[in-house]
């Protein structure tokens, strides 16, 4: 009835569930608090918050385009 392939896939699934069941879980509130603390500690170097200096911006055009 069952092929060897489906038995093998079922065994892999059971093994994966065992691995996941044995993983240590971290509470979401602790993880969120750690993420907020990390963001606050590194906000001075975040280019989205602090901005990028025009002299060091690699995407800013160095020359202006002149049409003749």
Residue 35 domain-assigned (yes or no): yes
Domain count, the chain: 1
pTM more than 0.75: no
CA distances for 16 relative to 23, 24, 26, angstroms: 11, 15, 19
Residue 50 domain-assigned (yes or no): yes
Using the predicted structure, report yes or no on whether residue 3 has a pLDDT greater than 90: no
Residue 68: its pLDDT value, please? 65
Residue 33: its pLDDT value, please? 87
Residue 4 domain-assigned (yes or no): no
Distance CA 19, CA 11 (A): 12
Domain extent at residue 32:
25-55
Residue 37 domain-assigned (yes or no): yes
Residue 17 domain-assigned (yes or no): no
**Selected residue with higher pLDDT from 52 and 46:** 46
Q: Pull the structure tokens for residue 41.
A: 């500690």
């Amino acid at each position: 009835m069952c092929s060897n392939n489906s038995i093998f896939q079922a065994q892999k699934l059971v093994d994966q569930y065992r691995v996941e069941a044995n993983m240590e879980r971290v509470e979401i509130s602790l993880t969120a608090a750690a993420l907020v603390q990390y963001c606050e500690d590194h906000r001075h170097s975040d280019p989205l918050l602090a901005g990028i200096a025009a002299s060091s911006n690699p995407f800013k055009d160095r020359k202006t385009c002149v049409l003749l």
